[in-house]
Amino acid sequence: PLLVLPNVPWFIGQNVAPNILLTLDDSGSMTETYSPDAFSSQPGSASIAYKSNLNPMYYNASVNYIAPPDENNVPYTTSYTAARRNGFDASRGTVNLQTSYRPEHNYNPKNTAPDNYANHCSASGNCPGVGVPRGSQTEAYWWTYTPDGTATCPNDPALSAMNGLAMSCFTFGRPTTDAQRQNFANWYSFYRTRNLATVSAAMIGFSLLPQDYRVAWQALNTCKSTNFSPSCKGWDSSRSNVNARIGVFDANKRADLWYWLERLPASGGTPLREAVQRAGEYLQLQGAGSPYADDPSATSGLQYTSCRASYSVVMTDGVWNGGNVNAGGNIDGTSRSLPDGRSYSPIAPFKDSNSNTIADLSFLYWSTDLQPSVPNTLRQFMPYQAGLVATDAEYWDGRNDPATWQRMTSIYVGLGLNSWLTTPVKWAGSTFAGAVSPATGYQRFKQDLSQWPASANGLGTGNVYDLWHGAINSRGAFYAADSPDSLVKAFEDLRNRISSREDGASSVSSSSLQVQTDSMMFNTSFSSQRWDGTLRAYKVQSDGTPEPTEAWTTNLTMPLPTGGAIGSHKVYAKGSSGTRVQLTPTTLNLLPTARQTELAAQAAVLSASMTTPIGASELVRWVLGDTSNAELRRRDRLLGDLVNSPPLYEGGRDYGYSVTAWSDSPRIDGKVYAQFVQDKHDTATGRPKHPTVFVGANDGMLHAFDANTGAHRWAYMPSPSFAKLGKRADPLAGHTWYVDGPIVTHDVYHDNAWRTILVASTGAGARGLFALDVTTPDDPKLLWEHFPNNDADTSNDDDDLGYVLGEPVIARAQDGQWIVAFGNGYGHPSNKAMLYVLDAWTGAVVKKINSGAPTPVPGASASSNGLAAPALLYTAGKRLAYAYAGDLLGNVWRFKLSGSSSSAWALDFGGLPLFKATAPDNTPQPITAKIRIASDRQLGRMLLFGTGRLLTDTDPTTIGRQSIYGIRDRADDSGTATRSMLTMQQITLETNSLRTVSTNASPIDSAGWYLDLGHNSANNGERVTMAVNYMPELSLMTVSTVRPTSAADPCGSNVTSWVMTMSPFNGQGVSLFGTGSTTGAGYRLDGVLATPTPIRKTNGKVKLTLNAGTGGLSQVDITRGWNPRAAWNQVR
């Protein structure tokens, strides 16, 4: 039967949606239109009105105030001439902003008029610029403070002096366009008070929350029942039941939350500690109604999922006061035992001298097992763990969360509190921001250089610091927001923060294997709950470690548009003329007829289950980022999931064609190439002019990002993606592959000029690949697409071409022709293993080399075969000589690519496999990973690879003995080598985390060596599906293995990985990993381990960077000395 690839990553188990407990401030100060509190206490004061860069709550013309979405994700409406006083309730009246505007001091959201107005100016008579008396109505306006450094208009005026600032210090402004008028109306109706801005921010932040997340809510003075309220309605109680207890965020729960938000009161004090305590106690509820129960509404037969995380999200605008709270005293200043057996002795930055504070409550509910009868299997979040095992310092690093028990992670949002955070430590912009030396921000507390100030009931400054402290104590986050737009960003970021802690990791790559001044490291992750992805960049320090804070992330540089807009990034596709066209809702006519037909057909399928039908242009709008259609899939990130497409850095690389050995060959001009490489770099700094990171995503596109800033340069959508875009937009559809294969770049010489080209496989997304000219990174050119089975012309269908999961190779043949070589992959009707060679510039097929009919190997099925990625070998004269690749039947083939014409290219070694991989019981061992070539003048040439496959749904549960091999490449045709001719290495010891490997001698004249996976001959399904990493300078190889485990438990890791270090020429174990006094040649991790990335430090040492499914990076130092004998032969 035809080999069928599954639609989801094989290692994905069931993800467990977290609990989110939302607490909003409903105190009386939420009616105010200014920030901070100290701005003014006098109703009618002119100083709090109209000056947005002094009062951040006022209208700011440079901010885009979007109308928040309703429960159906449709934006609320308002207008300039009939602006709603309360944007969420038309019955509260409207204001004509063109004629009847007057700034306000307070507005209660349930009223039809403001509590107090503010004056237009301080002077009597007509106000400057406004043209009307200080207490009258006029058209909407604003003033912008323009300091000049003088005593009259100081650069940073004190709050107490703002009333006395001269009007000459301000520039007058008024809406003059329809867009500006609508923007002002949006601000007025949805953002002008703290209450309205909070409701809008919460709606925007929660509108994109995944529907399987579980949500509960409360306020400070209302909806404050123990174990949360079964009826939480807000100030309008016309609805019978609004259940605020934990429940899945489905349409009904969403409607309940929106009903409450639209009616959030604003009256009373700020008993914040009581609300935090209620949340913590609610999470300790066991039995009926427990928020940890799989079905919180069940009263009997409760089932619990042990790895469900819980987050408390608290928003407040004031200094906490009131409430009768006893947290147990000074919790963070008292020693205590943690659920994992660790002991806490008061240390910075957690300790203080205060009692019963927010920080104490936060530490209490983090350090306590809230569900002691439920197993502790929550995932750790350790983004700042350098090694494979957390040190004590890393365990107590507030940025990490090592807890595995059920605990409450707290996220606090403070509105208008920035001005309080100046003494003893100035707020540095985010929870953990601050320089290490001299210490600033968070580092002042972490290094115990500053103490947390005193906090008590209504005390002031200390109570604001208490929110920051509480976030650190619970391994959460604190946001200090002063303006409506910063409040919106805070809610959006906290949603991303929660979801990112549930993400799975995929790949890591580096911009350079040698640490340089501009080195960057790139890490991808994805969420299998929302099927979106994130690309992160880290600057690499001189010691090879990434900087603690990411340089950029696509979560911020590629935001999801709002308000019905589409993204500003450019998306290209193949047009009807065969050249590149930009894809927009209005350019569909430029696409081939087949693409237009596919889009229309998918739109029709989607429309069949929609209230309002859509067409092809609306579908494309969704693809480009429009979120206004609530009937299509909801998402909170624009970038699709990044699974099997490792990020590729291209930044001025020199491929070596300026050397003499290349220059005297056909179609090469070495002198021109040297200038070409030089032109890629800035003459002043020597750095690449336009460094770019490419990555394929399962949103249908290949993406290009500026490697320095993360800015999205462009995306390219290959033709096969169009036929599946409807599945991406369908809220009920599962996961689909699109552009999920490896990417390569290379310089080629064409038409008397050097160019940089990119070739990408679509992986499991389609049978084929495509190429772009990326010489000018901001202006890519389409070269070709090779998808013969994905067009209307069936006459050119290719039954030999499958899903190309392996990396293609760009090279120059001996006759000077530039080629792309790749294995034909899997899932094709012919079931043959073939090497493909295409013309690199045109995509035309140059040669297909068949390995022959499937070789009959005992126990193998002849009905499914395919060739993995090839490794190319150049001779000493830098001439293309051979390609090596393995197939699913365990054969290692050598293809002869020498000769001045492609007609001479053929299967080598007498048409026989160079080697046949079989298990001890003689069953074939499939080879799906690319072979690596290790060469040494004395030790010969070794082919390094492991065996195993994970291609179909049944592969993870298929148990078969797999191995790691080092096969010596022989020049003669003496017959196929087998395992009986190899030196055996063994796993001699294995613990929960370490394994050791034998060091048996392997004669230089032997056929090679092998290592069977599994300790004590255990046949446990461990296998190798990724290429070996060979480091010639160290004479060292690293191998990543995977072992699928049971996925029945959604909280258990359904895969474990081992990273192993071995000698490439004899297979001996090289013990580089250690825990305590024990060392080993292998280290175990949970999750899928991406191929380790070696980074050479400035001191000559090497550091391996690992990414194993946790979303963070781990690093291991390689301490072995350099081997002076490096490979002469050039290998790719």
Report the alpha-carbon distance of residue 284 to residue 310 in Å, rounded. 11
Q: In the numeric block, which tokens belong to residue 1085?
A: 């991790």
Residue 285 CA to residue 373 CA, distance in Å, equals 11
Structure tokens at 990: 């294995």
pLDDT on residue 1048: 53
Give CA–CA dist 333/470, Å, rounded.
Answer: 13
- Residue 750's DSSP bridge partners are 753
Rounded Cα gap, residues 83 and 189, in angstroms: 6
* Lowest-pLDDT choice from 250-264, 596-610, 670-684, 1040-1054: 1040-1054
Instruction: State the average pLDDT over residues 65-85.
Output: 94
Least confident stretch, 228-242, 393-407, 497-511, 1001-1015 = 497-511
How does pLDDT run across 537-557, given as a tens digit for each residue? Answer: 988 877 767 777 789 999 899
How do residues 682-691 score in pLDDT, each as one tens digit? 999 889 999 9
Print burial letters for 356-375: b (CB count within 10 Å at least 16), e (below 16): bbbbbbbbbbbbbbbbeebe
From CA 499, how far away is CA 493, in angstroms rounded? Answer: 10
Report the pLDDT value the prediction gives residue 8, as an integer from 0 to 100. Answer: 78
| Residue 1118: per-residue pLDDT | 63
- Peptide bond just before 829 cis, omega within 30 deg: no
* 571-574 vs 712-717, strand pairing mode: parallel
User: If phi over 0 gives left and psi between -120 and 50 gives alpha, with beta otherwise, what is residue 290?
Assistant: beta
Cβ–Cβ < 8 Å for 739, 756: no
Amino acid, single-letter form, for residue 302? L
What percent of the chain has pLDDT above 70? 86
Across the range 630-654, mean pLDDT stands at 89
Q: What is the pLDDT of residue 1067?
A: 95
Spell out a b/e string for 702-715, using b for 16 or more CB atoms within 10 Å of the CB, else e. Answer: bbbbbbbebebbbb
Residues 722/595, Cβ–Cβ less than 8 Å: yes
pLDDT value for 10: 77
Predicted pLDDT of residue 547:
79
Other CB atoms within 10 Å distance of the CB of residue 436: 11
Q: Over 80: is that where the pLDDT of 238 sits? A: no
pLDDT tier, 444 (very low <50, low <70, confident <90, very high otherwise): very high
The DSSP line for 866-887 is -B---EEEE-TTS-EEEEEEEB
Q: What is the mean pLDDT of residues 495-503?
A: 66
**Most confident stretch, 50-54, 323-327, 650-654:** 650-654
Prior bond of 349 cis (ω within 30°): yes
Strands 1055-1062, 1078-1080: pairing is: unpaired
What does the alpha-carbon distance between residue 693 and residue 349 come to, in Å, rounded to a whole number?
Answer: 37
Which pLDDT tens digit goes with each residue over 515-525? 444 688 888 88
pLDDT recorded at residue 322: 80
- Is the distance from CB of 619 to CB of 599 less than 8 angstroms? yes
Give the chain's mean pLDDT. Answer: 86
Q: Rounded to two decimals, what is the model's pTM? A: 0.69
How large is the greatest C-alpha to C-alpha distance in the chain, in angstroms?
107
Mean pLDDT of 645-662: 82
pLDDT at position 857, please?
Answer: 44
CA distance 468 to 166: 36
Is-contact 420 461, C-beta < 8 A?
A: yes
264 vs 1046, higher pLDDT: 264
Return the pLDDT at 876: 63
- pLDDT tens, 122-163? 666 677 777 777 778 899 998 888 889 898 888 877 766 666
**Which tokens hold the place of 544?**
């090879």
Looking at 443-586, which runs of residues are DSSP E strands? 477-481, 504-510, 520-527, 532-539, 552-553, 571-574, 580-582
Look at residue 1128 and tell me whether its pLDDT is greater than 50: no
Answer positive or negative: Cα dihedral of 572, 575, 581, 584: negative
Q: What is the pLDDT of residue 269?
A: 92
pLDDT score of 933 more than 70: yes
Query: Which of 300-309, 343-352, 611-620 has the lowest average pLDDT?
Result: 300-309
What percent of the chain stands above pLDDT 90? 53
Q: Residue 575 to residues 197, 598, 621, 772: CA-CA distances in angstroms? A: 45, 14, 18, 14
State the pLDDT at residue 369. 98
Q: Assess contact for 1108 and 1089: CB atoms under 8 A.
A: yes
For CA atoms 782, 783, 788, 789, give the dihedral sign: negative
Residue 970, number of CB atoms within 10 A of its CB: 17
pLDDT, one tens digit per residue, over 743-788 is 999 999 998 899 999 999 999 999 999 999 999 999 999 999 999 8
Mean pLDDT of 928-948: 93
Query: Given pLDDT bands bounded at 50, 70 and 90, which one contains residue 1017?
Result: confident
Rounded to an integer, what distance in angstroms lies between the CA atom of residue 471 and that of residue 887?
53
pLDDT value at 1129 more than 50: no
Burial letters 152-161, b for 16+ CB under 10 A, else e: ebeeeeeeee
Residue 1089's pLDDT is what? 67
Structure tokens at 52: 């947005």
Residues 6 or more apart whose CB falls under 8 angstroms from that of 417 comprise 36, 317, 464, 467, 480
Rounded distance between C-alpha atoms, residue 881 and residue 897, angstroms: 5
829 vs 722: which has the higher pLDDT = 722
Of 286, 212, 290, nearest to 246 by C-alpha is 290
Asked if pLDDT for residue 505 goes beyond 70, the answer is no
Cα 634-637-641 angle, rounded to 5 deg? 100
Are 883 and 871 within 8 A, CB to CB? Answer: yes
Closest to 1128 measured CA to CA, from 870, 931, 933, 909: 933
Mean pLDDT of 46-60: 69
Average pLDDT over residues 677-685: 92
